[in-house]
Amino acid sequence: MINVDVSLNQEGQVTDIEMSGHADSGEYGKDLVCAGASAVVFGTTNAIIGLTDESPDIDYSDDGGYFHIRSVNLENEQAQILLQGLIVSLKTIEEEYGQYIKLNYK
């Protein structure tokens, strides 16, 4: 199962998102849940880097199964909107494939 830990501060700003595990919803290379979650996370991260002046702190595993993004400047509204969009996208995947992905709010 993919676990996504979403950390928000008291103002509702996203401070970090950590995704770990494997969906195992299909054979390697054909796992749609894993592909969808990965595409959303990497696409959002690339959008933050490419469209804002934010340089988030990122950790990931080369062999998959782990990705962690931390917002450096919480006042960057564009980056926050993109991160909120990431959460909405992952929540949409969870609603359809909840047996393979779980969002946890901290």
Note whether 63 and 28 are within 8 A (CB).
no
- Work out the average pLDDT over 4-8: 97
Is 34 labeled as catalytic in the residue annotation?
yes
Domains and CATH numbers, the chain: 2-105 (3.30.70.1490)
Query: Do β-strands 66-70 and 57-60 pair in parallel, antiparallel, or remain unpaired?
Result: antiparallel
Return the pLDDT at 38. 95
Determine which one of 34, 48, 87, 103 is catalytic.
34
pTM, two decimal places: 0.92
Question: Taking 90 as the threshold, does the pLDDT of residue 32 lie above it?
Answer: yes
CA distances from 14 to 24, 55, 61, 88 (A): 27, 15, 22, 12
List pLDDT tens digits, range 44-62: 999 999 999 999 999 999 8
Does residue 22 have an active-site annotation?
A: yes
* Catalytic hit among 1, 5, 20, 22: 22
pLDDT in tens, 7-18: 999 999 999 999
Mean pLDDT estimate for the chain: 95
